[in-house]
Amino acid sequence: MVSKKIIHPLEPVWSSECRALILGTMPSPKSRMTGFYYGHPQNRFWRVLAEIFGETVPNSNAEKTSFLLQHRIALWDVLKSCQICGASDQSITEPVPNDFSVLLQNTKIQSIYTTGRKAFQLYESLVYPKTKIHAIALPSTSPANCRMNFHDLVETYRVLLNTVSIK
């Protein structure tokens, strides 16, 4: 597969009430095609979040946006652009990070979570020096992450509840 330069096509999802920020690396080809994050039907992201909040899985982009904002979760990606082969995070070269200053200045974000090791590595090396907020690494919900079953993903992602619950 050939590496392509991708410029992030999706806007971040957030409101001033968001308390948690979840970051991936870069939208997959399927997500870019559907116009929303975690758009591959086999990706477990939306099913995991629905399970930890005890709700039905949101389907449309509008439902997903509403779901996130209702639970005070902002969603974006670490990278503004990069060279990548398909959806392979391991193939990423020439990473350019997004600018998180506006989002962080206009929200109540207390914790930043990354989905997958590569997102964590990129965030910590490229973004942390500017934000001074360390990320919490969560496992990838991608179908390629077959090391973790659905139950284990749900249990790991429950940490989000500590950040978004009203205190």
- In 3D space, the residue among 124, 115, 152 whose CA is nearest the CA of residue 38 turns out to be 115
pLDDT for 98: 97
Distant-in-sequence, close-in-space partners of 78: CB < 8 Å, separation ≥ 6: 23, 24, 25, 26, 95, 97, 98, 114, 119, 122, 123, 126, 127
pTM of the model: 0.94
pLDDT for 166: 59
Q: How many CB atoms lie within 10 A of CB 136?
A: 15
Q: Count how many residues are written for the chain.
A: 167
Instruction: Reduce the DSSP state of residue 129 to 3 states and report it.
Output: helix
On whether the CB atoms of residues 105 and 15 are closer than 8 A, the answer is no
pLDDT for 165: 75
Q: Taking the CA atoms of the chain, what radius of gyration do you get in angstroms?
A: 15
pLDDT along the chain (167 residues), means of 10: 90 97 94 93 95 96 97 97 89 95 96 96 97 96 82 96 77
Structure token digits, residue 129 = 């020096």
Please name the residue ranges forming H helices in the chain: 29-34, 45-53, 61-70, 101-105, 117-122, 128-131, 150-157, 160-164
Rounded Cα distance, 108 and 12, in Å: 15
User: What is the set of domains in the chain, with CATH numbers?
Assistant: 4-164 (3.40.470.10)
Structure token digits, residue 127 = 């973004």
pLDDT for 39: 92
